[in-house]
Homo-oligomer: A and B are copies of this chain.
């Protein structure tokens, strides 16, 4: 992790680090699939028209162009294109916009409610800073309905993420849940109509503090001191169960949207509290800034690493996608895998037991033993034991040293003149007779293990 990356914002892992990342990805995929989420991928590029469809976008976009065309423009042989041409290609900056397009394009081939997971890289041309990358992997789940989508899925997707994150070697996570209708209804109820403006400033609470947000609400959204006080009073409410309902009511604000939001959030929080106690809270400060959610919203912190920000966020859209007069409501969450893995590695929260998949290194006594060595390796591989074969009969000491330097735990010695083979655990030095058709390492040595290393 202390290595300098040759392109700022683009992280590359060493083999042992990649094993940790791969473990995270495999664990997430496994959990998503156990819950019935089908994996899809979308292309890396979208048209600018698609990417900017929702109007204001706060993500920096990387545009893509054929180098040959750029050169022709520079030579004056080709007319320059409008850089904002909606048909221009750009790299996707999240997986939600591409998924929405995928759903509308393939609606006739999908069975709804469609449960999909999607684990892919995304790109943002932002100025790199601590914890931010320009290329990073996201792991998303969403459930999408055709026309309607039961509110039960709002709790369902949060439970899946709680289970998926809980299966990682990272310690406790806490999902903070809010509801846009609740917040917007409350703000309307106290006379603040620019609810987006209010949410954008509430979103800054953790960064700039209560007093500054109170000032911003008055300056930027035109709130009175009392309105700002009430908006902040709402944002302070945080309960592990449905107790938040009474606390909101105690603020004395009334609005039909607020009622709707209270009911929806109470249902979600009640379910989470029963099925994943301690893993989720109602937190009425959660705003999700510029994202276009219409109901439940989620953020997730890694307990003890709150300053890392949200590692898993999402929410519900009344219309994730639309096609003619057909709408597809959706609810889902997205894990920022790269940010999480960067933290796991930089804080040494988890580590791989070795940096190679190989469990057994077959040594050679004579150069022409290679074919016999391959037979042994093939027998081991046939039983799921990763093995590789030396290419020359160096001194055993050198061959053992080679295996050790690569982190391979076992060295296999071919028996001479009908003597049985032997296998040596090069950590303990223990050496035993072994048959390639039956010998197996202990389960923890079979493949690299990724475990919590404590903090």
By a beta-carbon cutoff of 8 Å, the part of chain A in contact with chain B is 3, 6-7, 10-15, 18-19, 22, 33-45, 47-48, 60-68, 70-71, 73-74, 80, 82-84, 89-91, 101-102, 105-106, 109-111, 115-116, 121, 123, 125, 135, 150, 152-153, 156, 159, 271, 274-275, 355-358, 370-371, 374, 381, 384-389, 391-392, 405-408, 447
A135 — which chain B residues lie within 8 A by C-beta? 43-45
A102 — which chain B residues lie within 8 A by C-beta? 12
Are the CB atoms of A62 and B66 closer together than 8 Å?
yes
Are the CB atoms of B90 and A67 closer together than 8 Å?
yes
Cα separation A111 to B408 with both chains bound (whole Å): 11
What is the chain B residue whose CB lies nearest that of A380? B34
Of the candidates B3, B13, B89, B150, the one whose C-beta lies within 8 Å of that of A391 is B150
CB distance from A135 to the nearest CB of B (A): 6
- Identify 6 residue pairs between A and B in the complex whose beta-carbon atoms are under 8 Å apart, listed by A's number: A12-B42, A36-B387, A36-B388, A73-B83, A152-B370, A271-B371
Cα separation A11 to B43 with both chains bound (whole Å): 7
Are the CB atoms of A41 and B18 closer together than 8 Å?
yes
Of the candidates B15, B83, B123, the one whose C-beta lies within 8 Å of that of A71 is B83
Beyond A14-B40, A35-B387, list 11 extra A-B contacts (CB 8 Å): A3-B106, A7-B47, A11-B43, A12-B43, A15-B38, A18-B39, A36-B388, A36-B408, A44-B135, A60-B68, A275-B374
A13 — which chain B residues lie within 8 A by C-beta? 40-41
When all copies of this chain in the complex are counted, the total is 2
Of the candidates B36, B64, B90, B355, the one whose C-beta lies within 8 Å of that of A356 is B36
Cα separation A280 to B202 with both chains bound (whole Å): 66
Are the CB atoms of A34 and B387 closer together than 8 Å?
yes
Are the CB atoms of A60 and B67 closer together than 8 Å?
yes
Are the CB atoms of B65 and A65 closer together than 8 Å?
yes
- Do A82 and B74 contact each other (CB < 8 Å), given the known contacts A45-B7, A60-B67? yes
Of the candidates B63, B73, B115, the one whose C-beta lies within 8 Å of that of A67 is B63
Cα separation A44 to B89 with both chains bound (whole Å): 16
What is the chain B residue whose CB lies nearest that of A18? B40
Are the CB atoms of B74 and A38 closer together than 8 Å?
no
Cα separation A408 to B408 with both chains bound (whole Å): 42
Cα separation A18 to B118 with both chains bound (whole Å): 11
Cα separation A47 to B18 with both chains bound (whole Å): 23
Of the candidates B3, B44, B125, B386, the one whose C-beta lies within 8 Å of that of A35 is B386
Cα separation A279 to B152 with both chains bound (whole Å): 54
What is the chain B residue whose CB lies nearest that of A66? B125
A22 — which chain B residues lie within 8 A by C-beta? 39
Are the CB atoms of B64 and A40 closer together than 8 Å?
no
Cα separation A68 to B355 with both chains bound (whole Å): 40
A45 — which chain B residues lie within 8 A by C-beta? 7, 10, 135
A84 — which chain B residues lie within 8 A by C-beta? 67, 71, 74
What is the chain B residue whose CB lies nearest that of A137? B41
A159 — which chain B residues lie within 8 A by C-beta? 374
**A73, A150, A406: most-surrounded residue (chain B CB, <10 A):** A406
**A12, A355, A408: most-surrounded residue (chain B CB, <10 A):** A12
A156 — which chain B residues lie within 8 A by C-beta? 389, 391
Cα separation A371 to B156 with both chains bound (whole Å): 11
A116 — which chain B residues lie within 8 A by C-beta? 15
Cα separation A358 to B159 with both chains bound (whole Å): 17
CB distance from A437 to the nearest CB of B (A): 16
Cα separation A38 to B391 with both chains bound (whole Å): 18
Are the CB atoms of B105 and A6 closer together than 8 Å?
yes
Are the CB atoms of A44 and B387 closer together than 8 Å?
no
Cα separation A227 to B156 with both chains bound (whole Å): 73
Among all A-B residue pairs, the 5 with the closest Cβ atoms:
A36-B358, A70-B83, A36-B388, A66-B125, A33-B357
What is the chain B residue whose CB lies nearest that of A116? B15
**A22, A60, A70: most-surrounded residue (chain B CB, <10 A):** A70
A70 — which chain B residues lie within 8 A by C-beta? 63, 83
- Do A274 and B371 contact each other (CB < 8 Å), given the known contacts A18-B38, A38-B357? yes
A371 — which chain B residues lie within 8 A by C-beta? 271, 274-275
